[in-house]
Amino acid sequence: MNATIPVITIDGPSGSGKGTIAKQLAEQLGWHLLDSGALYRVLACYAQRQQVQADEAAKLGELARLLPIRFEGERIWLDSEDVSSLIRTESMGNAASRIAAIPEVRAGLLQRQRDFVRPPGLVADGRDMGTVVFPQAQVKIFLTASAEERAKRRYKQLLDKGMTVKMNSLVEEIRERDERDRTRTESPLEVPAAALQLDSSSMSIETVMQQVLDFVQLKLSPAAS
């Protein structure tokens, strides 16, 4: 890992707003972006295509190392297939969460995530960015929100995409996924030391973004090092 290239990590559960904040922050700074959840989602899709089951840990680890994924602006490719929309479904999120608990999978994706560190800097979002993948990161942020608020946001997103979904089952699914991501033994979702913690339940994206920017400026100012 190149310790001279700055890294900002944004961790948190799904629907906390971390994806939106990470994207805006990377754009404002002119830095690279790593959406690590997309790697797990595309891997879940790849495993289905290759007919590898969730209990075949060694094979899944191998698929993780070889994953033919390509990020192209807003589009994400698995081999020659554009999987950008497919990987955003609830079922693919759940499949990703299940395989993400497998140590061989996490080991297979570790170096691939670190390879995203390139000048002038990287903004990385996920569950274990500040704890395991980039423990040396200069700035760490942990974003959360209540399960009800996150379900509401997700519900709206899905409606906007023309998909129908029941609010009750969405809250249940979110709780179930949180529980799995938080309690797994390998790299569980947890707050990194020295992270800025924000609960976005009753905050607008603009307010969250402003607080994040203030913290980033404080941490990256020459006086902070």
- List of residues contacting ligand DC (CB under 6 A): 14, 36-37, 40-41, 93, 96-97, 100, 126-128, 177, 181
- Min dist CB 98 to ligand DC, Å, is 9
Other CB atoms within 10 A of residue 57 CB:
15
Residue 120: name the closest of 215, 13, 33 by CA: 33
- Min dist CB 93 to ligand DC, Å, is 5
Task: List 78's β-bridge partners, or say none.
Answer: 69, 81
Q: Which is nearer to ligand DC, 6 or 126 (CB)?
A: 126
- Min dist CB 211 to ligand DC, Å, is 21
DSSP reduced 3-state for 136: coil
Q: Which is nearer to ligand DC, 6 or 11 (CB)?
A: 11
Q: Which is nearer to ligand DC, 30 or 195 (CB)?
A: 195
Whether the bond into 192 is cis, omega within 30 of 0: no
Other CB atoms within 10 A of residue 78 CB:
20
- Min dist CB 217 to ligand DC, Å, is 25
At 174, the amino acid letter reads: I
* Rounded Cα distance, 154 and 171, in Å: 10
Phi and psi at residue 141, in whole multiples of 5°?
Answer: -130, 140
Q: Which is nearer to ligand DC, 29 or 44 (CB)?
A: 44
Q: Which is nearer to ligand DC, 37 or 108 (CB)?
A: 37
DSSP reduced 3-state for 219: helix
Q: Which residue is nearest to ligand DC (CB)?
A: 37
